[in-house]
Amino acid sequence: EEEGSRGILGQHDWKLPMVTELVSTWYCGFGRCCPTGDCRVVNNITGLELVLSKRLHGQHLAKKIVLKAIRGFLEKQQPEKALTLSFHGWSGTGKNFVARLMAEHLYRDGLKSDCVKIFISVLHFPHLNYMDLYKVELTKQITETVGLCEQSL
């Protein structure tokens, strides 16, 4: 095989979509691909408000408070802390549902985003006698997440 017959991209079987994705990812690394500078963040507040109105029933106060908290957080140019919301209530009242909707409308990858951490007390902190250890671990995880993302939830 002759040297020149491989094409301009060498021996790899490069396709245009693959090259486009690589260039796009590289360019995004400089923070120029999206308004926030972090392409993981989408901040679709209008979509969140709409989906909360359509799918969250009987929790009109929660909807109002959540949207107000998120808007207030997003108005800050460089928040010093992550947006932290604590939902309380009986099983089945929509706590995890609201958290999931928030993540889906604020971050491209939703709950799978590196910028999102959800803690469920009975799952993550089940033993009262380990409370001091839980505090240390929780502080560590929040600090790591805030360091990783300009906008953390």
Please write the tens of the pLDDT for every residue from 93-137: 999 999 999 999 998 888 898 888 888 888 999 999 999 999 999
Q: How far apart are CA 102 and CA 51, in angstroms?
A: 10
Residue 30, pLDDT score: 58
Domain boundaries, given as residue ranges, for the chain: 43-106
Is 43 within 8 Å of 102 (Cβ atoms)?
Answer: no
Instruction: Assign 12 a pLDDT band (cuts: 50, 70, 90).
Output: low
Mean pLDDT, the chain, integer: 81
Please write the tens of the pLDDT for every residue from 36-46: 556 678 888 99
